[in-house]
A and B are shown apart, each in its own frame.
Chain A
Amino acid sequence: MQVKLTVNGEQRSDDIEPRLLLAHYLREVCGLRAANIGCDTTSCGACTVMLNGESVKSCTVLTAQAAGQDVVTAEGLATDGELHPVQQAFRKEHGLQCGFCTPGMVMAAVSLLKEIPNPTEDQVREGLEGNLCRCTGYHNIVRAVLAAAAQSAGSQAEVTA
């Protein structure tokens, strides 16, 4: 079947199998391989992308369901080569080690901060409950999200963790 959707600002039209998962469409058809597949049960969030500005797990969305809609992946976050504030914060706070969960984690964080611009630590942890990381123990990921929030708020508040 034919699907048309917008991916990272680019309009696309592709011929696909109905069962093609959005995650595989992005990776194999669009060549955007930052989002990874880490589980079978919609648990790990490594595949998280934005669909119409909201975080979704692309392994549990059919490409067909995204027809006519707007997908943004981690590759589409940076503007003009400048890292998105959340990406910058992840770097500064050492919020990634092996990097496998990172694109999904970053997208989930971006979505979280859209909905809760100034979260508490608890809200960050709950907001990331859909994203698993095995390397960092989440400590620096939480710091990164809080730092990104503080930076966007223009605040000089020191992040303590």
Chain B
Amino acid sequence: MSILGTRVLRTEDPRFLTTGGVYTEDLTDDRLAGACHVFFVRSPVAHARIGRIDASAALAAPGVLAVYTAADLADLPSIEPIMAGLLNAKMTRRPLAAGKVRFVGEPVAVVVTEDSYQGEDAVELVDVDYDPLPPVVDLDNALSDEVILFEDAGTNTVVEFGNASGLKPDLFDGCDVVVKRTFANQRVAPAPMESRAAAAVWDADGRLTSWIPNQGAQSSRDDLAKMLGLEASQVRVITPDVGGAFGAKFGADPEHVVVAWVARQLGRPARWTETRFENLISMTHGRGQRHAITIGGSRDGDVQAYRLEIVQDGGAYPRIGAVLPYLTIMMATGPYSIPNAEAIGTSVATTTTPVGAYRGAGRPEATAALERAFDLFAAEIGKDPAEVRRRNLLPPFTEPHQTAFGALYDTGDYAAALDKALEAAGYDDLRADQAIRRQSGDVVQLGIGVACYVEITGGGDESGPPQENATVEVHPDRTATILTGTSPHGQGHSTAWAMIASEELGIPVENFTVKWGDTDLIPVGGGTGGSRSLQQGGAAVQQASRELIDVARERAAAALEASAGDLRFDVSRSAFAVAGDPDASVALADLAKDERLFVHSIFTAPGATFPFGTHVAVAEVDTDTGKAMLRRVITVDDAGVVLNPLLAEGQRHGGIAQGAAQALLEEVVYDADGNPLTASFADYPIVSATELPSFELASMETPTSYNPLGVKGIGEAGTIGSTPAVQNAIIDAVAHLGVRHIEMPTTPMRIWRSIAAARSQPTQSQPTQSQPTQSQPAEPESA
């Protein structure tokens, strides 16, 4: 009986449920004994020159060991933007702000105390003079270059992916219907439950050991080394348990560098944990794109042309967020066959928190824009949005399909996903319920939203093709150890990798120890992000296990004095036996007695894979108050073969919740001066259990040929389909009143205003869409 595909409970859990995970703040490692505590003084203004910094009162406060500013860190190199050839390389950053601050929350000074309770007291006593400069918050203002953030750069534009001059003016020629709209894919906060933290200590040889909650110890090591001006070999990064990351804990942040520097400066270990306030204003934010879409086609519902123009808010110091439009553009036409399509993007710097990756990182944005465009188009021609989608989906394919934007989709059956989701939702019944409520003018109206998506997972990066390494070792005591280059933070790799190896080696899942996140033990690894881990890391574990059997076979042949070709490996006994003579056997573990039995293997994937699916959301809107309530979310998320349904469902649930939250609730808000208004969990409405229903997940598995497991990446898919499905559902609930669009998040005030505005319009001349295409279009609602 294969263990693959079964709901194996997590081997990680007993520890987490009893003594709890050991996160960076929990560490009691001997090497950190006597650690001092690090606190940051952060800018309260969005854009200013830094004047005098007076630390005298702080230095006199109890327990204060030191106060440092940029001048003290002058020897550290500047932090260049990632992909500095691509992004404007002049937009550099100092680990502590030097000369200028460019966002509220930027660290300006660091206070070091004996005791953790003394830090906040001392931070309050550091007096910084700021000479304010005009804030740059509005995207058009930023693009105008009227106020420049980086004098040396001479512009606020970070990078352009194509530009307007390349757009074809005749793209929409021949379309009966053309719809244009501009809307936001708003800035959100990743807000993992564990905020950022670090601990650092140097040994007598000048080697740094740093504990950082991250998404890959190796890239944290590389970043730290670079930012400290060290060789990578002089740095060891250890990843403790990580309390969630969602794309915002890659590499190293300036604060991590400062903590390490302080430890070296003071010759003692140093520790830091940020508050939630600091997290919400200085951990990288997600999304932050503005979309101008144009969609055109025939009255029958063929979409003939689509254009997407993106402005990406990069925040103050360009990070991966500024690059994401590249992925948005690549996925611009999603699962559809659209004969003429263009997409361009510009990333611009603003005096706000830097924007990074957040679950989906560029792909949710593409789907959100496209799915909103499809609904706008469907509304314009008065046809059912599901039917319009079906009509335009790419037909099923098993051989790779190249899109106009250079993506090579591996396998897909988009119509099957749509059909399955609609059936599971009971779509026709929902439309019937909706019609009844519309007839009777119920205060609470029903809306159904559909979103079809395809997404890209597990691609390579600028360092090379997609690959991951694993070491699998069998021990004489019948246990085994796996070393992986991935870096789980809730995904359950200990269990999943053990399942994969167990399947090959016949060693029970409970007998495996899986290790990651120590660069001395595993110097090379790609970490966990972009939904890469199973298709690369899991595949590497499988490959290493299979290669281990090959190595063991040779030893078994010697041990049994038989030829290797006559031996069979019996997984159920975890032993080699001579064919036809089961008593002539040797256990796999026994072959490790005299010599270590392990294999290190690198799995290289042919390319990225493309999971896909359809989400259907059902929402109710109280038309008197504008309150929207999410009632059902039905999804098909096809990420190929499912290794462990329990884990896969958990990833889907988490993704759906975050995606729905963006549509319904969450937004990082700045005022016109660049002051963050959502800097606590009281103000930033992170979604809680009461706003969400239980989710309905339908199964569909279209394998990929890109790895022997047949798996694609599932971690981000849920986020991609749910945002537009929920937004579309809420708008659909009031579409019969004439509403065509509501910005995200669909707050009660926005919904109420949209209804009021639509009601005050003169009667629409086009039919409003309220029924599937088989019926007559409804009479237009009178205002």
Chain A neighbourhood of B655, CB < 8 A:
137
Q: Which residue of B lies closest to A160 (CB)?
A: B694
**Inter-subunit contact B680/A98 (CB<8 Å):** no
In the assembled complex, B184 has its CB within 8 A of some CB on chain A:
no
* A33 adjacent to B26 (CB under 8 Å): yes
Residues on the B chain within 8 Å of A34, using CB: 18-20
Is A46 in the interface zone, CB < 8 Å from B? yes
Give every chain B residue within 8 A of A106 (Cβ-Cβ): 17
Contact between A43 and B681, CB atoms less than 8 A apart: yes
Taking a contact as CB atoms under 8 Å apart, the answer to whether B14 and A142 are in contact is no
Contacting pair A135 B19 (CB below 8 A): no
Q: Would you call B647 an interface residue if the criterion is a C-beta within 8 Å of the partner chain's C-beta atoms?
A: yes
Give the distance in Å from the alpha carbon of A58 to the alpha carbon of B275 in the complex: 16
Contact B690 A40 (CB under 8 A): no
Query: In the complex the two chains form, what is the Cα distance from A161 to B193 in whole Å?
Result: 25
The one of B12, B28, B195, B491 in contact with A38, judged by C-beta atoms closer than 8 angstroms, is: B195
> Are A17 and B492 in contact (CB-based, < 8 A)?
no
B512 sits at the interface (CB 8 A): no
Contact of B646 with A by CB under 8 A: yes
B9 touches A99 (CB 8 A): no
User: In the complex, what distance in Å separates the CA atom of A138 from the CA atom of B194?
Assistant: 17
For residue B204, CB closer than 8 A to chain A, the reply is no
Indicate the member of B193, B242, B695, B718 with the most A CB atoms within 10 Å.
B193
Residues of A with C-beta under 8 A to B275 = 40
| Contact code string B680-710 (vs A, CB < 8 Å = 1, else 0) | 1110001011101011000000000000000
Which residues A81-132 have CB closer than 8 A to chain B?
A: 83, 87, 90-92, 94, 96-103, 106, 121, 124-126, 128-129, 131-132
Decide if A69 is an interface residue (CB 8 Å cutoff): no
- Does B653 make an interface contact (CB < 8 A)? yes
Given contacts A39-B680, A41-B680, A97-B490, contact A103 B244 (CB under 8 A): no
Q: Which residues of B contact A30 (CB under 8 A)?
A: none
Interface SS of chain A:
loop
Closest to A137 in B: B657
A63 within 8 A of B: no
- Do residues B654 and A135 form an inter-chain contact, with CB atoms below 8 A? yes
Contact of A83 among B18, B195, B657 (CB under 8 A): B18
B16's partner among A77, A96, A139 (CB-CB below 8 A) is: A96
* A134 contacts B193, C-beta separation under 8 Å: yes
The reply to whether the CB of A44 lies closer than 8 angstroms to some CB of chain B is yes
Instruction: Give bound CA distance, A36 to B681, whole Å.
Output: 15
Known contacts A134-B244, A137-B654, A138-B692: A100-B21 contact under CB 8 Å: yes
Q: For the A-B complex with A96-B17, A99-B12, A134-B658 known, give 12 more contacts whose Cβ atoms are closer than 8 Å.
A: A20-B117, A33-B26, A35-B20, A74-B20, A78-B18, A90-B17, A92-B9, A133-B689, A134-B246, A136-B654, A137-B653, A139-B695
The 10 sampled A-B contact pairs (Cβ below 8 Å) are A20-B117, A36-B20, A94-B9, A101-B243, A102-B20, A125-B692, A132-B193, A135-B244, A139-B692, A161-B694
Smallest CB-CB A-B distances: 5 pairs: A34-B20, A100-B243, A137-B657, A97-B490, A98-B490
